[in-house]
């Protein structure tokens, strides 16, 4: 594993019997102060809000077209594994706990269905979400259009036309594909996402954990 964001986030453990990852402490860099902090990641089954300890609950909703790698991103982030088999997802929830020196985050990640058969469920997921990871595949121009639809839907459901007030990151997944298979260039995506939508844009590949950590880290 490469250093960088992975050193800041440490090990994650899925709050589910399906995964058993090591829990440890690592050094976290505070970008505001430039100082190191200590944090650990551990399992949690019951959530109790404790304002004295500044415990907070954060739900990240992962949106995008089918077969862009949403589930793969979630499982690489939480379970450190790469999933090769594609199975249609119908809103699967993952959870983990992140303990920082100044924040205690109970993290939930909702992996939504990529098909259009559940529009009501998708709107409900957005309504209950705090932050959004919108995924497209760089080798699928159609999925980039779906990402735009998801962005608009988030703004509509949240009743807010100011994107910067809603934590959103647009992810161009599968950036490791051959150049001749790429249908959405990075420059094109940057021009639209950063300049027109004024949102954060990052390219990822589920084969490289550091890029996946970086994408989720921007919403924490």
The answer to whether the beta carbons of residues 27 and 34 sit under 8 Å apart is no
Q: Is the pLDDT of residue 203 over 70?
A: yes
Could you tell me the two tokens for 198?
């004024």
Would you state the pLDDT for residue 19? Answer: 34
What pLDDT band is residue 7 in, cutting at 50, 70 and 90?
A: low
Would you state the pLDDT for residue 39? Answer: 32
Could you tell me the two tokens for 68?
């862009």
What pLDDT band is residue 116 in, cutting at 50, 70 and 90?
A: confident
What pLDDT band is residue 55 in, cutting at 50, 70 and 90?
A: confident
The strand order across the sheet containing 200-203 reads 25-29, 36-42, 92-99, 104-111, 55-64, 131-137, 168-173, 200-203
| Mean pLDDT value across residues 77-85 | 74
Enumerate the domain spans of the chain. Answer: 5-217
Would you state the pLDDT for residue 154? Answer: 96
Higher pLDDT, 164 or 28: 164
Q: Is the pLDDT of residue 4 over 60?
A: no
Give the domain 5-217 fold.
Rossmann fold (3.40.50)
Q: Is the pLDDT of residue 102 over 90?
A: no
Residues 6+ apart with CB under 8 A from 40: 10, 23, 24, 25, 26, 99
The answer to whether the beta carbons of residues 148 and 199 sit under 8 Å apart is no
In whole angstroms, give the CA distance from residue 82 to residue 105: 25
């Amino acid at each position: 594993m490469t250093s960088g964001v992975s050193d800041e986030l440490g090990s994650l453990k899925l709050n589910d019997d399906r995964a058993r990852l090591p829990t440890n402490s690592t050094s976290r860099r505070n970008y505001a102060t430039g100082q190191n902090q200590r944090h650990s990641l551990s399992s949690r089954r019951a959530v109790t809000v404790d304002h004295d300890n500044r415990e907070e609950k954060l739900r990240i909703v992962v949106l995008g077209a089918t077969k862009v790698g949403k589930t793969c991103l979630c499982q690489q982030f939480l379970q450190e594994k790469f999933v090769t088999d594609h199975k249609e997802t119908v809103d699967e929830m993952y959870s983990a706990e992140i303990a920082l020196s100044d924040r205690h985050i109970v993290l939930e990640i909702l992996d939504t269905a990529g098909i259009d058969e559940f529009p009501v469920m998708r709107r409900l997921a957005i309504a209950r979400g705090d932050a959004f990871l919108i995924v497209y595949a760089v080798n699928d121009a159609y999925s980039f259009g779906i990402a735009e639809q998801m962005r608009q839907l988030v703004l509509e459901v949240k009743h807010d036309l100011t994107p910067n007030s809603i934590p959103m990151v647009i992810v161009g997944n599968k950036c490791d594909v051959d150049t001749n298979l790429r249908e959405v260039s990075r420059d094109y995506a940057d021009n639209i996402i950063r300049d027109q939508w004024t949102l954060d844009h990052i390219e990822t590949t589920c084969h490289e954990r550091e890029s996946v950590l970086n994408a989720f880290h921007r919403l924490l």
